[in-house]
Amino acid sequence: MSGSDNVLFQPEILLNETFTLAECPNWDGQKNRLYWTDILSGKLHALDIASGDRHVWNFDSELGCFGLTDAGRIIVALRKDILFLDPETDERTTLCRIEDGIKSRTNDGKIGPDGAFWVGTMDDNADKQPIASLYRITADGKIEEKAQGFKISNGIAWSPDGSNMYHSDSRGPWVNRWDFDVASGNISNCTRFLDLDDTLGRPDGGAVDMEGCYWSAGVSAGNLNRFAPDGTLLLSIPMPMPNPTMPCFGGPDMKTLFVTSHQEGYSAEKRAEFPDAGKLVSLRVEVPGVPVTRFRE
């Protein structure tokens, strides 16, 4: 990253590579490494921030989301299968499979403060219907359906103390907030947090900072939006591409936001018009992010 990192809220292109559907950035503070997925190509990517070293792991289906584990592995959600990847040896171990019986695939997911892998799905038909679900997956391979009735489950993030969980439907388009029990992983008292639109941006991936503010990738409007805990819009930062997909906090002080984007369905003309679509950006912010928990193996 360049010397202008200290300019607040100014997105910069992180690396000069383009992806079709980059999503689910994850920060590994122990290795100073950023991970992300290019969902449709079934690839998991890693970038060493200091050296610029790159690594790519290939899978045989879409890779919707993933998270880091407390044993140094990565838990990966493919189209239906959940497995472990050892990033050092490339060893892969299947944990379980989401058997929902519909044409769906995994989408946004994140490790919760309860140490479980929370994975949402999406209707994989062109005419999206509210048939997708949100699942909680634990190290014993148990899959528990926690909520249902979504078109594209998205936007999972937790408040700094873990007492609230945010969850969106990109085609709602809305963000809900649940009471969250860290000890049990139970969710209750769902309330509407935000109703959004294409102008400000339908809610894609999300993250929360230490002031409890919710950052949402406004995927339909080219914005990264920061909302106060009461839902007030505090910032709307234009991105250098039309379709940002998900933010995550990282860097030594957790004050760098990494944001993925997509160019899925772009024509050649649109790709030429928006050459930064599908790239990753970074920007410096004032308030550090909430560190994401590691999966409890």
Between the alpha carbon of residue 166 and those of residues 77, 86, 126, 216, the distances in Å are 20, 29, 26, 10
- Identify whether 3 is part of a domain: no
| Residue 220, token pair as written in the block | 């339909």
The tens place of each residue's pLDDT in the chain, 297 residues long, gives: 333 446 899 999 999 999 999 999 999 999 999 999 999 999 999 999 999 999 999 999 999 999 999 999 999 999 999 999 999 999 999 999 999 999 999 999 999 999 999 999 999 999 999 999 999 999 999 999 999 999 999 999 999 999 999 999 999 999 999 999 999 999 999 999 999 999 999 999 999 999 999 999 999 999 999 999 999 999 999 999 999 999 999 999 999 999 999 999 999 999 999 999 999 999 999 999 999 999 999
The catalytic residue positions are 204
- Identify whether 36 is part of a domain: yes
CATH value at residue 240: 2.120.10.30
| Residue 276, token pair as written in the block | 């930064």
Count Cβ atoms within 10 A of the Cβ of residue 184 and give its class: 0-12 exposed, 13-18 middle, 19 or more buried.
exposed
pLDDT at residue 2, rounded to an integer? 39
- Identify whether 78 is part of a domain: yes
Q: Count structural domains, the chain.
A: 1
The whole domain housing 59 covers: 10-284
Alpha carbon distance 195, 152 (integer Å): 15
pLDDT at residue 6, rounded to an integer? 65
